[in-house]
Chains A and B, each alone.
Chain A
Amino acid sequence: MSQRLKDTFARGKAEDRTLFMPYITGGYPESFETVPLLLALEAGGADIIELGVPFTDPVADGATIQHANEVAVANGTTFQDCLEFVREARSRGLAAPVLLMGYYNPVLSYGVERAVADAATAGADGFIMVDMPPEEAGDFVALCGRHDLSFVPLIAPTTGDSRMPLATSTADAFLYCVSVTGTTGQRDSLPPELGAFIERVRASSPLPIAIGFGISRREHVEAVGKLADAAIVGSAIIAAIDAAEPERRAERVREYVEGVTGHN
């Protein structure tokens, strides 16, 4: 398990605070922007960062993150580049845990053992693999464990009670609960069934819970805080990047994170 992740959740609990976990796509909109954006996320109040490894076919993502993936792939951004972003951000003082998020094929193509070992060396803290349910994750989870990295599984509202023990079994640091049955992207409000869903997850696992998909505003983050330990925001961060003047992207992203976390 990643010690950094464990400490981060412990700190959140001690401070009675909802952790904030933003997502950006590596190499979007340009390769040279990723490290400044990672640092800006932390400066704005991010506790954990998800760094998306771009892929040509992000089937679980909505239009905003699809577009970010397309652009990053067109820029030639690879899994190796994403490791470089982490390494450089660490050398420039990034302290927050970083999770590599994406689809399996770029990792598989890089070489699974090498990918996990190099991720650890670069200073990453674990993996979120969208298309790797527990049925397929055994070897990969064991590999993460050997390198003191965390594998963070996605849990969905469609994950039934009988499946919940299996679905949560690959986690060691926390669970990523998908708020809606759907793709990533901003929505006006959180679904009313979210509370019952999180209760079902809690009944199966004592681990901390982060909630993602459809979260973009301060009020969403506050609502998530009543149910879970961390709030995840992805598409809204990409949208903030898109809305910014090109030379002020990092600054605007920091301001967005400050606003949504109430961290001023």
Chain B
Amino acid sequence: MTQATTRLSSRFGDFGGMFIPEVLVAAHNELEEAYHAALADPEFGEELATLQRHYVGRPTPLYFAERLTAEAGGARIWLKREDLAHTGAHKINNALGQALLARRLGKPRIIAETGAGQHGVATATVCAMLGLECVVYMGTEDMRRQSLNVFRMKMLGATVAPVDSGSKTLKDAINEAMRDWVTNVSTTHYLIGSVIGGHPFPTIVRDLQSVIGKEARAQMLEQAGKLPDLAVACVGGGSNAIGLFHPFIEDASVSLLGVEAGGHGLGSGAHSATLVAGRPGVLHGAHTYLLQDDAGQILETHSISAGLDYPGVGPEHSWLKASERARYTAVDDRQALDGFKALSRTEGIIPALEPSHAIYQALEEARRMRPDEDVLIGLSGRGDKDMHTVADALGVTL
């Protein structure tokens, strides 16, 4: 299990790789071996499929948003309803799969980082279900913004470890989780929450999230009778977007559009639009686009949505950008709130602030498209967790 073999490609074009301290290499290699063994083991696939169905509630619906379509007045708009998955976001797809892998590795302790708290909640949830110890690192700024999720994690039996360094957000939570892992690697699995990190994490997390796009592709064919012309998803680390996009990569007729957080605007410097405004570098184990200064120091980011507030991005997205298979754009805080309101009022679905970015941009795109064209939005999570943030932004005191 400690062989240094690389059976999966560790690269996406020039991006990806395994830029990690030597102390963690064995654990990465061991994870890759375990993942291969799991893929070859029908029992693993069956257990994952059973839990996806009966615990997570998969397949999640594909919903034709008729009134949102009418509001845009262009292409038909479809929502892939990851907000209806257990715990209210797509994060559970990855958490469940990795927790099953950790159990195969014989590691009784799980650590995770979280930004919006959705990955922390998903991880705490599957750890409760599988009887694993769970510690979630979370920036104190995010704990303030997402106090409801902090409480949810505690109710689920997890320990929430506050991180007060740097910008006190997702990046710093990842740093602290990595320090924990460096120290406790023999007993602990780091259940990383997005398609980031050193190889094999971006590949494993992408595979686990690809259930979104696989289902959506089949559902589009069944319900719309055709593939979408455009698939749109928000991108922070990029796991829901890669999960939606990946099964469509070979479908040349399907355009892929990732929407990053424009924060206060790209000119303000206070944003998280890594692919739109960054340049390649190495952070958290991968060669990928980063928001960094001229000297290679990582910049602080801002977004109204804690889940997008990250200065890096999954390396496969960097490759999709470089190869021009996908395009990426940014939507600012105010526009995201417009997307949030539009979906809430036309469809009775309150989205999380993260996919609200995708909704805004999808409306813009749909408006310019023909009525016989189809836009598929990855609705990655529900908005209950964001009500305080939205109320604040709208000047309402709850």
A106 with B297: in contact, given A136-B17, A160-B2, A162-B2 (CB under 8 Å)? yes
Q: How many whole Å from A5's CB to the nearest CB in chain B?
A: 20
Q: Is A167 close to B, CB under 8 A? A: yes
**What are 15 A-B pairs with beta-carbon distances under 8 A?**
A57-B298, A59-B178, A59-B182, A104-B282, A105-B292, A105-B298, A133-B21, A133-B22, A135-B10, A135-B17, A157-B23, A158-B185, A160-B2, A162-B4, A178-B23
Flag if A57 contacts B171 (CB, 8 Å).
Answer: yes
Flag if B296 contacts A105 (CB, 8 Å).
Answer: yes
Classify the secondary structure of B's interface with A: mixed
Q: A49-64: contact bitstring with B at CB < 8 Å (1 yes, 0 no)? A: 0000001111111100
Instruction: Give chain B's interface residue range (CB within 8 Å of chain A).
Output: 35 or more
8 A Cβ contacts from B1-44 to A: 2-4, 6, 10, 17-27, 29
Inter-chain CA distance A131–B4, complex, in Å, is: 17
B18 proximity list for chain A (CB < 8 A): 133, 135-136
Q: How many whole Å from A97's CB to the nearest CB in chain B?
A: 22
A8 proximity list for chain B (CB < 8 A): none
Q: Is B166 close to A, CB under 8 A? A: yes
The chain B residue with its CB closest to the CB of A55 is B297
B23 proximity list for chain A (CB < 8 A): 60, 154, 156-159, 178, 181
The chain A residue with its CB closest to the CB of B19 is A131
Flag if B10 contacts A183 (CB, 8 Å).
Answer: no
Inter-chain CA distance A55–B18, complex, in Å, is: 18
With an 8 Å Cβ cutoff, the count of chain A residues facing the other chain is 44
Q: Is A166 close to B, CB under 8 A? A: yes
Q: How many whole Å from A104's CB to the nearest CB in chain B?
A: 5
Inter-chain CA distance A155–B25, complex, in Å, is: 10
Q: Is B222 close to A, CB under 8 A? A: no
The chain A residue with its CB closest to the CB of B2 is A160
A183 with B26: in contact, given A55-B297, A57-B171, A106-B295 (CB under 8 Å)? no
Binds B, one of A34-42, A107-115, A228-236, A256-264: A107-115
Q: A182-219: contact bitstring with B at CB < 8 Å (1 yes, 0 no)? A: 11000000000000000000000000000000000000
A163 proximity list for chain B (CB < 8 A): 2, 4, 25-26, 29
A159 proximity list for chain B (CB < 8 A): 22-23, 25-26
Binds A, one of B256-264, B283-291, B366-374: B283-291
Inter-chain CA distance A55–B171, complex, in Å, is: 13
Classify the secondary structure of A's interface with B: loop
Q: How many whole Å from A137's CB to the nearest CB in chain B?
A: 10
Q: Is B186 close to A, CB under 8 A? A: yes
A60 with B21: in contact, given A105-B298, A106-B296, A109-B281 (CB under 8 Å)? yes
Q: How many whole Å from A98's CB to the nearest CB in chain B?
A: 20
Q: Known pairs A60-B179, A155-B22; list 15 more (Cβ under 8 Å).
A: A55-B297, A60-B23, A60-B182, A107-B296, A110-B296, A131-B21, A135-B10, A136-B19, A154-B22, A158-B22, A159-B22, A162-B3, A162-B4, A163-B26, A182-B183
A151 proximity list for chain B (CB < 8 A): none
The chain B residue with its CB closest to the CB of A182 is B183
Flag if A183 contacts B285 (CB, 8 Å).
Answer: no
Query: Which of B2, B6, B165 lies in contact with A70, CB distance below 8 A?
Result: B165
Q: Is A44 close to B, CB under 8 A? A: no
Interface-centre pick from A57, A78, A157, A181 (highest chain B CB count, 10 A): A57
The chain B residue with its CB closest to the CB of A176 is B22
Q: How many whole Å from A179's CB to the nearest CB in chain B?
A: 11
Inter-chain CA distance A131–B198, complex, in Å, is: 10
Q: Is B250 close to A, CB under 8 A? A: no
Flag if B175 contacts A57 (CB, 8 Å).
Answer: yes
A157 proximity list for chain B (CB < 8 A): 23
Q: B172-199: contact bitstring with A at CB < 8 Å (1 yes, 0 no)? A: 0001001100111110000000000000
Interface-centre pick from B6, B24, B165, B179 (highest chain A CB count, 10 A): B179
B22 proximity list for chain A (CB < 8 A): 133, 153-156, 158-159, 167, 178
**In the A-B complex, the 4 residue pairs with the closest CB atoms:** A109-B296, A156-B23, A160-B2, A78-B295
